[in-house]
Amino acid sequence: MELLKDKVAVVVGAGQAPGATIGNGRATAMLFARHGARVLAVDRDLESARQTAELIGKEGGVALACAADVTDESSLVDMTAAALSHFGRIDVLHNNVGVAGGSGDRPVEEITEDAFDLLCAVNLRGMAMTCKHVLPVMRRQQSGVVLNVASTATTALYPNVAYKATKMGVLGLTQHIATSYAADGIRSNAILPGLIDTPMAIETRMRLTGKSREQIVAERNATVPLRGRMGTSWDVANAALFLASDMAGFITGVNLPVDGGALARVGP
């Protein structure tokens, strides 16, 4: 069953940093394509976006790589134009962008102004700007789905200020779109990954702490209620597929955790 047959999906952050596992954006782009979507694979690193598009092509899917930097609004104008030029429409906008501790995030008394501004520009303003340029397309179509990747850090204990604050802002952005564009047939939902085994999560921590992959994986696994293991990028991609599809056609404005039950144990 092709849940996204004849749909066009723009996946922002479809590339990934080097690592032992696949990232959330690449997995989502590939899964969308497996379910019939034509995919614009967008990333600041064009070569990484091309690798994602090539993986989709090898599986018989249709994908085009596109370079765009969410901190540069003009590149998002070009991204939107590229989607329309090649595919004629945009049915799904999947915002999978974010930086965290590896970009200087710290507790509030320690963070620098430059680091705070960087996380705001990428994690929150960047998502708002992609929406700014894609939503008019969806409004003309009177249909569309916006998916914003936030984090369980919005609710769970988290040591650093800018990632938590910007990802909470993503929830506000998502709700704003859901309520403001519902009459146009546009749905907007947020995905909140918990502990996921991705290069951004694991390899970054290896670099910052000097610990081995095995150490970091074991520490993170031990905190997950469901089967005592982290999720994978395919878990996040499956949630995105559901929310992007007509199966979720009456769902908008929700924040969906993909966290193995971690938030279920958060209490007063």
Q: Which residues pair with 64 in a beta bridge?
A: 40
185: left (phi over 0), alpha (psi -120 to 50) or beta: left
Measure Cα distances from 260 to 41, 47, 155, 240, 246 in Å: 28, 33, 15, 16, 25
Parallel/antiparallel/unpaired status of strands 144-149 and 92-95 = parallel
Is the Cβ–Cβ distance between 83 and 76 less than 8 Å?
no
The residue from 163, 189, 194, 259 that is catalytic is 163
- 181 as an active site residue: the answer is no
Give the dihedral of Cα atoms 40, 33, 92, 22; nearest 10 deg: -80
Structure tokens at 127: 């998502």
- The catalytic site residues sit at 163
